[in-house]
Structure 1
Amino acid sequence: MNIPNVLIVPYPVQGHVNPLMNFSQKLVEHGCKITFVNTDFTHKRVMNSMAKQESHDESPMKLVSIPDGLGPDDDRSDVGELSVSILSTMPAMLERLIEDIHLNGGNKITCIVADVIMGWALEVGSKLGIKGVLFWTASATMFALQYNIPTLIQDGIIDSDGFPITQRTFQISPSMPTMDTGVIWWSKVYDRETEKKVFNYVVHCTQNSNLAEWFICNTTYELEPKALSFVPKLLPVGPLLRSYDNTNTNASSLGQFWEEDHSCLNWLNQQPHGSVLYVAFGSFTHFDQNQFNELALGLDLTSRPFLWVVREDNKLEYPNEFLGNRGKIVGWTPQLKVLNHPAIACFVSHCGWNSIMEGLSNGVPFLCWPYFTDQFYNKTYICDELKVGLGLNSDENGLVSRWEIKKKLDQLLSNEQIRARCLELKETGMNNIEEGGGSSKNISRFVNWLKS
């Protein structure tokens, strides 16, 4: 059998690099070689976060990079500009990278697995005679929504720039639940100009779907039966969870943009079981000073121990009256290890899809605080469909008050039905990745195809 050399191309943000890195690890465990392509900017961050670890040249996973077309000081959190620059720069760079790998006697690339929103990479592959696969990093429902853009325009739900024409509910298919136009992810970015750029970019990437031989998604049949039956070509392989090196408890997760602070695990060891609020909002969320103050003082009000992730790029001040003496504040965590810790009581989350899959896999209830894109749909899904969390209400000024935070946390932690439902979903999720489970079988099927 051939040893496949799979080229992986994620969109250059943390929430897309993570699931593709986890998927790559699964492929390595099945005997594949991986060439993981980050942008130069992302690659540098990933390497810096791993600076203290030894690298092995003979590793079956090679991390390589190409430019994204932006300057060193450009703002890469402006996803509109980032997407425009990616499309004008990276296709030619990716082609050159593959040609160099082939010219220098490296293992020939046998397949490209591209993030759906890097779908242009399949055009490059097609030109070079390399087969292509698309990987979707969010929920199957959001995949169904994106692939129905022409119908949404035709039915008068969105205009040609992707914006909802009126606030209303709609159904992608009779078998799927109704959705609100307020959860159309590309219209929930930052501002109209950015959203227009993102929508045009997404439409361009989606046009390459006919070049994909497989569509892969980090979900399970049990979690999203209706969406998966509506899009039968989508292969669920979730939950994609990080594989840790058990011989080195401080080993960092590959692909992180920030260095993980492992001291939080020792701190968790000293807390009572089921007592700690884990508060983490992913790699993009930014609060204004007033909201940051309310969050800090809300955590104080609960009188519970908390582990709060405040990224290094946070420029806000803690309020003077904030005590924080029951908590620990860190810059970034080994999140899967944290959620798996018996001390964790619940997850105060931005509702990014990776965080949802990790929380569900550990039976942890959610307090949902979405920030942008698909997170608003994910919050509705967690609270109304799965019934494993609660949402927060803001006041007339759009502020979530400290009292609201305390009230909802008290409600969440005293709700036995939510707790029982979390444990039920944990069991079905973990069964999927056991040998013989649905997702495990799907990964084996995919690997057999790669090796054929």
Structure 2
Amino acid sequence: MAASANRAAVNGAAGSGEPEASRDHFMASLSSSPPLVVVSDFFLGFTHGVAADAGVRRVVFHGMSCFSMAICKLLPVSPPAGVEHGAGGGSPFHVSGMPENVMITAEDIPYSVAKFTDMDDPVTRFLIDNVFQSDVRSWGILVNSFAALDGDYVAPVEAFYEQGARAWLVGPLLPAAGETPERDEENDDPEGCLAWLDERAARPGSVVYVSFGTQAHVADEQLDELARGLVQSGHPFLWAVRSNTWSPPVDVGPDQGRIVRGWVPQRGVLAHESVGGFVSHCGWNSALESLAAGKPVLAWPMIAEQYLNARHIVDIVGTGVRVDSGGGAAVVGRAEVEEKIRMLMDAGGEAAQRMRARAAWARRAAMSAVSDGGTSRVALQKLVGELQRSYDDVVIKVG
């Protein structure tokens, strides 16, 4: 689960203490049938102690990239002077401990990182009391990413863990990553999104897909500006909208676009030949899906580590362009929306050609990583092998 998706859970748990029911159920499960290893989410810190008491190793699962994870761990150790979380503008700065080409701004710093020294902050208190100490004592780290994308940032992550814990990059953790998903439109596409895209297959790469996930609230004023910008861009669009009360301020004809308020089969949409670009909040799961599908992104981060994901995708990987108006609470105007969508989608443009070339590379790299002999598949095999050997060593010593 991506860190952005966990923010609400953290806020809810911050004042409630340890989840006793979950702990009791987990203890009972370990007692009845001890496993070889426990793989648990970063936020489920209590699982480490329970597993240790049962003599079982814990591997912590991080649903974010090594790039973002490393920065989140490094910034509290070496905070940049005079930089405030969320401050607009400001000069890019280098994060000590990261490769020299990694530059971020104050806006990119997640709230939980900026508040790390504030012991009165409930999120900070929850993380320190329930998460961080268990995290660093984990036997290993499982990461939903792959070496070609994130290999340069493994060492900074591993440096924070005790007892030589290794980070295992085993992603992208998607069904048949990189392949076109099988279609089950009755169950997976009740809104008929894929059929609508089929009607535009004569113009490959012409449709813009827009989705901001399920966590961040988008104000009606911003939805209005986005709608106007999409229409003005001249590119047909498929737009997943969460709000059930907002109405578009302009008429959207069937040839101009489709606004969907129900379920959208995002992997299938991104894999469709009619789709040429993705306007995204840059949650890590969505970022991986865009990379696996080989589609460039208009990065529009809103909360948590999404800003770091956007920085990674745009500046390092080179598969996207970012809104200039800051994202988050700032309203991005229709003119900028139109400009950036044209930059993303106009096939003859130099920027679009460069992004599409990099997106095609990312797709090949993602497919290669999970193929036979690929880095992610080999990493998972090595992890299982090490766990099995360590178990055999314990059995031999006890016997």
Band the TM-score falls in, shorter-chain normalisation: 0.7 to 0.9
Q: Which residue of 2 aligns with 1:249?
A: 184
Q: Which residue of 1 aligns with 2:121?
A: 196
Over the aligned positions, Cα root-mean-square deviation in angstroms equals: 3.5
Q: Which residue of 2 aligns with 1:412?
A: 344
SS of residue paired to 1:208: helix
Q: Which residue of 1 aligns with 2:24?
A: 96
Matched, 1:345 2:276: yes
Output the CA distance in 2 between the equivalents of 1:230 and 1:188: 16
Does the 8 Å contact 1:310/1:332 carry over to 2? no
TM-score between both structures, scaled by the size of structure 2: 0.80
Output the CA distance in 2 between the equivalents of 1:195 and 1:423: 46
Matched, 1:402 2:334: yes
1:413 Cα deviation (Å)? 1.5
Output the CA distance in 1 between the equivalents of 2:249 and 2:114: 32
Identify which range, 396-405 or 279-288, moves more after superposition.
Answer: 396-405
Distance 1:163 1:358, change over 3 A: closer
CA deviation string 1:37-74 (max 9, x = no partner): xxxxxxxxxxxxxxxxxxxxxxxxxxxxxxxxxxxxxx
SS of residue paired to 1:133: strand
SS of residue paired to 1:287: coil
Output the CA distance in 2 between the equivalents of 1:150 and 1:321: 46
Distance 1:183 1:196, change over 3 A: farther
Q: Which residue of 2 aligns with 1:226?
A: 152
Q: Which residue of 1 aligns with 2:215?
A: 284
Output the CA distance in 2 between the equivalents of 1:145 and 1:449: 28
Distance 1:102 1:174, change over 3 A: closer
Give % identity: 26
* Equivalent position amino acid for 1:416 in 2: Q
CA deviation string 1:51-101 (max 9, x = no partner): xxxxxxxxxxxxxxxxxxxxxxxxxx7455313156x141x3233113443
Distance 1:251 1:222, change over 3 A: farther
Matched, 1:183 2:108: yes
Alignment coverage as a number of residue pairs: 365
What is the aligned counterpart of 2:248 among 283, 302, 319?
319
* Equivalent position amino acid for 1:148 in 2: L
Output the CA distance in 1 between the equivalents of 2:98 and 2:221: 43
Output the CA distance in 1 between the equivalents of 2:258 and 2:317: 30
Matched, 1:431 2:368: yes
Structure 2: tracts of 5 or more residues without a match: 159-165, 347-351, 390-399
Distance 1:320 1:357, change over 3 A: closer
1:119 Cα deviation (Å)? 2.5
Output the CA distance in 2 between the equivalents of 1:78 and 1:132: 25
Output the CA distance in 2 between the equivalents of 1:246 and 1:150: 41
Q: Which residue of 2 aligns with 1:357?
A: 288
Matched, 1:303 2:234: yes
Matched, 1:237 2:170: yes
Output the CA distance in 2 between the equivalents of 1:220 and 1:94: 31
Q: Which residue of 2 aligns with 1:208?
A: 134
Distance 1:287 1:98, change over 3 A: closer
Output the CA distance in 2 between the equivalents of 1:289 and 1:248: 33
* Equivalent position amino acid for 1:327 in 2: G
CA deviation string 1:262-300 (max 9, x = no partner): 621222222122111110111112111111111122222
